[in-house]
Amino acid sequence: MMQFYYVYILQSQAHPDHYYSGFTENLESRLKAHNQSQCPRSAKYRPWKIKTAIAFTDRQKALDFERYLKTSSGRAFAKKRL
């Protein structure tokens, strides 16, 4: 079975102008963790919903894309394209 690595963008349902991007191998459990305040950096703006999720088969490419999304040009790209 093929392994997927996900880069995701969450949007706060309580504060729709707040977004969070991250990396995971299990999208469902990661969203659940964000919504149960198990992630300190995102707990303040919960509940979250998935705005965008991109599946990669290459772990390093997924990590590189997540790192890019956390830069100013990556945030601008995500806002315009994702």
Q: For residue 21, give the CATH number of its domain.
A: 3.40.1440.10
Please classify residue 66 by burial: count the beta carbons closer than 10 Å to its beta carbon, then call 0-12 exposed, 13-18 middle and 19+ buried: buried
pLDDT of residue 61: 98
pLDDT tens-digit series, residues 14-65: 999 999 999 999 999 999 999 999 999 999 999 999 999 999 999 999 999 9
- DSSP lists the bridge partners of residue 54 as 7
What pLDDT, on the 0 to 100 scale, is given for residue 12?
98
Query: What is the model's pLDDT at position 1?
Result: 87
Q: What would the DSSP string read from start to end of the chain?
A: ----EEEEEEEESSSTT-EEEEEES-HHHHHHHHHTT-STTTGGG-SEEEEEEEEES-HHHHHHHHHHHTSHHHHHHHHHH-
Number of domains observed in the structure of the chain = 1
- In terms of residue numbers, what domain contains 58? 5-81
pTM of the model: 0.94
